[in-house]
Amino acid sequence: MKYTLLLSLIFYTLMARAQRQGQSENVMITSENGKTQVSDGENGKLHLNVNPKDVARLKAARVVHYSDFGAKGDGKTDDIDVIAATHAFANLHGLHVKADDGATYYIGGKHRTAMIQTETDFGKAAFIIDDTEAEKRDGSVFMVSSGLKPFKPEKITSLKRNQKKINAALPGPCLITVTNANVKQYIRYGLNQNNGSSQTDIFVVDKNGNVDMNAPIIWDFDQITEITALPIDEKPLKISGGRFTTIANKAESKYTYYSRNIAIRRSHVTVEGLAHHIKGEGDQGAPYNGFISVNDCSYITVKNTILTGHKTYSTIGTAGKPVSMGSYDLVVNRALNVSFVNCTQTNDINDSKYWGILGSNFCKNLLYDHCTLSRFDAHQGVANATIRNSTLGHMGINAIGTGLLLVENSTIRGKTIVNLRSDYGSTWQGELVIRNCVFVPADGKPFSASLIGGSNSGQHDFGYTCYMPEKITIENLRIDDSKHPESYEGPAIFANFNPEMTSDSYQEKFPFVKTKEVILKNVTTASGKKLRVSDNAFMFKDVKVSTDR
C-alpha cells in the first residue's frame, strides 16, 4: 500500500533585521514511500522526502542527525542543502539536531541558510565554510530564528526617556523597536564620516506594556515613523559545540562586508563550546561582520567559546583618505542583555595585525566575564556595560553610551583603560567605575599613559548633547607604567580631549559637558610617578578630584 502524505510546505524568512528585510528560504517536506532524500525543487526550493517509517523512527528518537538525510561529512561534498533540510524537518516536528561526531561538513559558496529553531548540538563535528566563491556574501549559513511573528502596535505615536509603560495590547513579553526617521543621531566625525542614523531605540515590555527598567528607553521620541513588536520566545534554546573554519574571501579590500555566519535572531539563546578559526587570509580581502552575529533579540549568552580576530585591511574612507577597516568575529546590533562568558581568541590579543574582535551598535546591558579578547567596542551607543574578570588586548575598551560603565577585576593592555570614541563625540551620559584592575599602557611599550581617552572639539554636531561621565570612581588600580618615555610626567586621568581649549576665549558651538567628580582610592604606579588630572589643566579645571588612600 502506498502512503502519500503531504506534511507541510514550510516558508522560512531570512531576516537581516527582525524579519524586515526578507528573502524566503523554502523547504518542501513530504512523506512518501520510497527513498528518504533531499533534492532540488522548483525556484530554488529544496524538496525533502522522508519515508513514513523514517518519520516515525526519528520522531520516536526525538533527535535527527545530518546523516539521516544523506550528509556525507567527508570535508569535500557540499552538505549545506542536507543541513538546511535537516533543520527544516526538526523545526516541523520539534526535534533536536545532532551533528555526527568526527564528520567534516563542507559548506561551499551556494546561498542557502539553515534555519535553527530547535536545540542543536554540533558536537565534535567540523564545519568548513568556504568564502572564496560565495554567491551571496551576506547570506548567513545558520540562522537561529523564532517561529513567532512581529507585528506593529497601534496608537503609539511618541515616547519619553525612562517612560515606564506603553499603551499596547500584547500577547506576552515583547521586544519593541522604534524609529524616528526625521531625527538623525550618531552623525559620525572623521575618516568614516557620515550623515548619521535615524533615531532608534529597543526595549523589552511585559504583556501589560511595562518597560523593563534595567534596559530603559534612552531617548525622547517626539514622533515615531516605525514601530515593531517581536514576541519573545521564553523557552531557552541551546546551540552547542562545533569546530568551524572560515576559508577567508579574496575580494577587493573595501566595505563589502561578509556575513557567512551564525546569526542569532531569537531571544533566550545560549551558544556554548563553539570554536571558530580562520584560514587563507592573504594580501587583500573584504572585512567580516561577525561570525556570531546577534541582532534584534534579548537574553543571549555566548560562553566557553573560542574566536579568531580577522586580519586588518585598509581602504579609502568617506573622507577620501586611507582608513583601516573594522572586521569582526563578534557583532551585536540592537540587542539587549547579551553576555560573553569565558570567551577567548586563537590569535594574540596584543597583535595589531588583527582587528578588535567585537563591534556593537544600539545595545543595552553588554557583559564580558572571564574573557580574554582584543577589544570591547560599542560604536553607536550602549546603555550599561560591564567588563569583569577579563583581560583586554591592544584595542582595549571603546565605548560611548549611557548608564553605568563598570570595569572590575580586569587587566587592560590598551593605550587607555577606557577610550570614549571620538568619532561619536566621546560621550558617556552616566557613571564610570574602575575597580580592582591592572592597567598596562600599550601592552608595556614606552607610552605616556592616560586612563580615559577621547576627544571632542565642540565644533561638530553629533545629533545629541555630548557628555563625559558625570562621576568617575577609580578604586584599587595598579598602573604598570615601568616602561615609559624619558619625558614622562606620570599617568593622567584624562587625555587631552581638546588641545585648542586652553582659555575662556575658546568657544564650543556644541558644548561638551565635562566630568563633575573623580574619586580616587588606592591608585598606584610602577614608575612611582603621581597620577595627574590631564595635560590640559584648563579644560578640566572644574573637575573635583578627591583622593582617599
Helix (H) or strand (E) holding 8: strand 4-15
Instruction: Assess if residue 479 is contained within a domain.
Output: yes
Q: In what order do the strands lie in the sheet with 197-205?
A: 197-205, 174-185, 226-231
Q: Which long-range contacts (CB under 8 A, 24 or more apart) does 397-400 make?
A: 398/356, 399/428, 400/424, 400/425, 400/426, 400/427, 400/428
What are residue 87's phi and psi, to 5 degrees?
A: -65, -35
Residue 40 lies in a domain: yes
DSSP state of 288: B
- Grid coordinates in use for 523? 591608585
- The set of residues, in sequence order, having a beta carbon less than 8 Å from that of 311 and lying 6+ positions away, is 248, 281, 285, 327, 353, 354, 355
Cell numbers that stand for 210 in this block = 511595562
Residues 321 and 110: their CA atoms lie apart, in Å, by 35
Boundary-marking domain end, from 130, 146, 169: 130
Q: How many domains does one find in the chain? A: 2
Candidates 48, 158, 57; CA nearest to 112 is: 48
Distance of CA 362 to the CA centre of its chain: 10
Q: Three-class SS string for 487-525? A: CCCCCEEECCCCCCCCCCCCCCCCCEECCCEEEEEEEEE
Burial string for 215-227 (b: 16+ CB within 10 Å, else e) reads bbbbbebeebeeb
Say what the pLDDT of residue 549 is.
55
Quick one: pLDDT at residue 9? Answer: 25
pLDDT score of 13? 26
Residue 537 inside a domain? The answer is: yes
Q: Which 3-state string (H, E, C) describes 128-185? A: EEECCCCCCCCCCCEEECCCCCCECCCCCCCECCCCCECCCCCCCCEEEEEEEEEEEE
pLDDT score of 415: 96
**Considering 130, 160, 175, which residue would you say is the last residue of a domain?**
130
DSSP-derived 3-state class of residue 354:
strand
* Closest of 262, 205, 213 to residue 230, by C-alpha: 205
DSSP secondary structure code for residue 406 in this structure: E
Domain termination residue (choose one: 100, 130, 160)? 130
Query: Which residues are CB-neighbours of 410 under 8 A, at least 6 positions away?
Result: 387, 388, 389, 390, 391, 392, 437, 438
C-alpha cell of residue 307:
574566536
In this structure, is residue 140 part of a structural domain?
Answer: no
- Region of residue 88 (phi > 0: left; psi between -120 and 50: alpha; otherwise: beta): alpha
End-to-end CA, the chain: 87
Where are any strands of DSSP class E within 417-480? 418-420, 428-439, 450-453, 466-467, 471-479
Q: Is residue 384 part of a domain?
A: no
Is residue 212 within 8 A of residue 205, CB to CB? The reply is yes
Query: Which residues are within 8 A (CB) of 384 and not within 5 positions of it... i.e. 6 or more apart?
Result: 214, 215, 364, 365, 366, 401, 402, 403, 404, 405
Distances (CA, A) of 243 to 106, 128, 254, 273, 531: 12, 9, 28, 9, 46
Short-list 119, 139, 121, CA closest to 129: 139
pLDDT under 70 in the chain at which residues? Answer: 1-25, 549
**DSSP, res 6:** E
pLDDT of res. 388? 98
Q: Which domain holds residue 122?
A: 4-130
Q: Collect all residues with Cβ–Cβ distance below 8 Å to 65 and sequence separation of at least 6.
A: 86, 97, 98, 99, 100
Residue 266 identity: R
- Strands of 186-321 (E only): list them: 197-205, 226-231, 237-247, 262-264, 269-272, 275-279, 289-303, 306-307, 314-316
C-alpha cell of 443?
A: 601592552
Is 517 inside any structural domain? yes
Residue 518 lies in a domain: yes
* Angstrom distance (rounded) from CA 175 to CA 445: 45
Q: Which amino acid is at 166?
A: I
Three-state secondary-structure class, residue 83 = helix
Which neighbouring-strand residues pair with 358? Answer: 330
The grid coordinates listed for 163 are 517612560
Q: Are 153 and 166 a contacting pair, CB within 8 Å?
A: yes
Distance CA 17, CA 59 (A): 33
The answer to whether residue 304 sits within a structural domain is no
| Closest-CA residue to 124 (of 92, 108, 101, 144) | 101
Cα separation, 293 vs 305, in Å, equals 14
Show the cell assigned to 505. Answer: 576665549
* All cell numbers assigned to 28: 518542501
Q: Are the C-beta atoms of 317 and 191 separated by less than 8 Å?
A: yes
**Spatial separation of the C-alpha atoms in residues 124 and 251, rounded to whole Å:** 31
- pTM score, two decimals? 0.94
